Amino acid sequence: MRVFNFLLFILFATSALFAAKEPKDVAAARKSVVSILVYKDGTLLRSGIGVFAGEKGDILSSYSLFLDADSAVCIDPAGKIRPIERVVGADDIYDCIRVRAAWDKKIQPLTIANGAADTGASLYMVSYGKKKSGVILPLTVAEVSTVSGVSYYTFNNRMHENSLSAPVVDASGRLVALMQPVSAADSLRCYAVAVSLASNLSTTSLTYNSSLFSRIGISRALPATQKEALTTLYLLQGLAYSDKKEQFLTPLADYNRDYPQSYEGHLMLAEYYAIADSAFEKARDEWDTALRLAPNSDDVYYNISKVFVSAVARYALNDETAMAFVDCAIENIDKALSVKSEPLYIQHKAELLFAKGKYAEAFDCYVALSNTNMSSADVYAAASKCKEVLGEIDEAIVLMDSAVATFGSLPVEAMAPYILNSAMLKHKAGRARAAVLDFNRYESLREGKLAAPFYYMREQAEYDAKMFRQALEDIERAISLAPEEPIYFIEKGRLCYRVKMVDEALVALERAATLLPESPDVHYLMGRCYMAKDDKESAQTALLKAKEYGHPDADARLTELNK
């Protein structure tokens, strides 16, 4: 820095000799200028200039100075070293950055000037120097241009490269601009950007994790408003369960410090303790704090309930512990519902009761939910599932058809999954022809997007409905789409045997035997086919293999064969 100051004296010797003594307030501005040292892994990367201005502890400087740094310090003219703790905002186009250092009452931030300086105005560039050695250079504004409301100043002076981000002040010592980089070819002019650009820099929920900030390893400050800060934390929450957890925990600690009356940050910290660390005692302390701060306790209880559910999903719990966690989740959602009967809470409770195996109670919750603004096809489908596992298939079918009906009379692809479920339920209830009709509706909605399992499912319904021609067509489609799947060849063999196409059945079963040689069903069906052809020797060979592989009916057929 001593060499820098000496060069500045040489470069501006002529103007300095004839200039009047700088105003007192300009000289005082030197106390706010700092030297900045940036490091990576403990090694000095580069040094530069910054200035305390505006908010307590905020320093305005050069963005490029901080690139790749993982730590930095500033040194004031009195020689005091302060760590730079946060990056507040940045602009790579104008090479500006706003960072925050540890603050104390000895810091004298410059006041930011209101409005722009005019052409011909006298300004002063202030450099860093220990004690009162910082050089002050008079400048005259040659030109003022405005881009997107930001003033950009041109001076007819040659500027040393080490003056990047040096403050430019007016006669009252108010900060007007920051010096900009200059190209080697532009040796007769220098530039500065209005300080309003740098002083207003801030992160947002959208830019917080952008490359603009990720190129700097120093922790970022949260956005300036509580709403934006909270949104940012929600976006960062996934990092809590990774090797980058500090990138979430550090801003979370900042949020809880800056907004001590907010309960949301304590909920997030509780979730981290419970899910990432399995530290439920710490989590309970945070939940207690959140309950004390929250204007409505139902949101806190709902979040506690969700954490217990997440813990079940994250940890390899034995069944007893998992069910104990589900019980805790139910207990807390009941507390939330006692405060406010929100549809979201009812839905959550229904899901918990279903997981607990309390299907009748879960069904009651879904019925209650169907009478709220959250009524939907999914609600009816979930209620249908409850009835299905309770063995009440007819009621399950009615509810699944109600799910389909929510879409109206016009066919839309979104109703397809519910129609498919309806088809499977009707087949399960023995209503094979009704099931086939639903499978056909599903096919019309999903034309061109069907895979082998669909044709196999419909074939089975067609088989039970004695629609054998359609069944043969569908099993052939399934085979063409999945020619290495043995179950389809077994099914074709069963179907062909059923309609007395014995030779075709044996061809399909021989293929199945090459794909699944130890299948008892394959050899049993082959034995039945050979019996139909009155080939007792081949039938006995096939049935003995079926018996060897464990088919329960093989012995009976062998007895029948040997009568």
pLDDT at 13: 42
CA–CA dist 488, 479 (Å, integer): 6
Residue written as token pair 């979930």: 382
Rounded average pLDDT over 124-146: 89
Judged by DSSP in three states, 545 sits in: helix
For residue 399, CA distances in Å to 321, 323, 367, 402 come to: 33, 28, 10, 5
pLDDT band per the 50, 70, 90 thresholds, residue 161: low
Helix (H) or strand (E) holding 45: strand 43-52
pLDDT digits (tens, 9 = 90+) for 233-253: 999 999 999 999 999 999 999
pLDDT at 7: 44
CA–CA dist 167, 110 (Å, integer): 10
Q: Are 400 and 425 in contact (CB under 8 A)?
A: yes
CA–CA dist 387, 366 (Å, integer): 11
Task: Provide long-range contacts, Cβ within 8 A and 24+ apart, for 359-368.
Answer: 359/386, 359/389, 359/390, 360/386, 360/390, 362/386, 363/387, 363/390
Cα-flanking dihedrals φ and ψ of residue 154, to 5°? -115, 135
Number of other CB atoms surrounding residue 358 within 10 Å: 16
Look at strands 136-147 and 167-169 and give their pairing.
unpaired
CA–CA dist 514, 516 (Å, integer): 6
Which CATH number applies to 2-199? 2.40.10.120
pLDDT band per the 50, 70, 90 thresholds, residue 21: low
Q: Hey, what amino acid is at 512?
A: A
Helix (H) or strand (E) holding 89: strand 81-91
CA–CA dist 93, 310 (Å, integer): 43
Of 230, 183, 186, 187, the closest CA to residue 205 belongs to 230
Flag whether pLDDT at 135 surpasses 90: no
pLDDT at 14: 40
What are the start and end residues of each CATH 2.40.10.120 domain in the chain? 2-199
pLDDT digits (tens, 9 = 90+) for 47-87: 999 999 987 889 999 999 999 999 999 999 999 999 999 99
Of 63, 66, 68, 65, the closest CA to residue 96 belongs to 63
Q: Which residues does residue 52 pair with via DSSP β-bridges, in sequence order?
A: 59
Rounded average pLDDT over 507-531: 96
Task: Provide long-range contacts, Cβ within 8 A and 24+ apart, for 353-361.
Answer: 354/382, 354/385, 354/386, 355/326, 356/323, 356/326, 356/327, 356/330, 359/386, 359/389, 359/390, 360/386, 360/390
CATH number of 223-340: 1.20.1050.90, 3.20.20.220, 3.40.50.970, 1.25.40.10? 1.25.40.10
pLDDT at 147: 85
Residue written as token pair 């403990």: 42
Q: Hey, what amino acid is at 64?
A: S
Rounded average pLDDT over 190-201: 93
CATH fold of 341-449 reads 1.25.40
Buried b (16+ CB within 10 A) or exposed e, 115-139: ebbeeeeebbbbbbbbeeebbbbbb
Give, as one character, the DSSP assignment of residue 109.
P
pLDDT at 184: 65
CA–CA dist 60, 47 (Å, integer): 14
Q: Are 403 and 384 in contact (CB under 8 A)?
A: yes
Q: Hey, what amino acid is at 350?
A: A
pLDDT band per the 50, 70, 90 thresholds, residue 185: low
Taken in order 56, 62, 65, 68, the sign of the CA dihedral is positive
Average pLDDT, the chain: 92
Instruction: Retrieve residue 520's tokens.
Output: 């008892």
Instruction: Retrieve residue 342's tokens.
Output: 């929100």
Judged by DSSP in three states, 33 sits in: strand
Instruction: Retrieve residue 135's tokens.
Output: 């050089």
Q: Which residues does residue 87 pair with via DSSP β-bridges, in sequence order?
A: 99, 220
pLDDT at 11: 42
Look up the pTM and report it.
0.80
Flag whether pLDDT at 445 surpasses 80: yes
Taken in order 232, 237, 243, 247, the sign of the CA dihedral is positive
Rounded average pLDDT over 7-30: 60
Buried b (16+ CB within 10 A) or exposed e, 440-457: ebbbebbeeeeebebbbb
pLDDT digits (tens, 9 = 90+) for 199-218: 999 999 999 999 999 999 99
End-to-end distance of the chain based on CA atoms, in angstroms? 111
pLDDT band per the 50, 70, 90 thresholds, residue 377: very high
Number of other CB atoms surrounding residue 295 within 10 Å: 6
Give alpha helix (H) positions in 109-220: 195-199, 211-214
What are the start and end residues of each CATH 1.25.40.10 domain in the chain? 223-340, 341-449, 480-563
Of 69, 88, 93, 62, the closest CA to residue 204 belongs to 88
Give alpha helix (H) positions in 357-415: 359-369, 377-389, 393-405
Rounded average pLDDT over 141-149: 91
CATH fold of 480-563 reads 1.25.40
CA–CA dist 330, 175 (Å, integer): 59
Judged by DSSP in three states, 448 sits in: coil
pLDDT digits (tens, 9 = 90+) for 168-182: 999 999 999 999 987
pLDDT digits (tens, 9 = 90+) for 263-304: 999 999 999 999 998 899 999 999 999 999 999 999 999 999
Q: Alpha-carbon dihedral of residues 523, 527, 528, 530, nearest 10 degrees?
A: 130
Flag whether pLDDT at 15 surpasses 80: no
Instruction: Retrieve residue 105's tokens.
Output: 């009452």
Q: Which residues does residue 147 pair with via DSSP β-bridges, in sequence order?
A: 150
Rounded average pLDDT over 96-110: 91
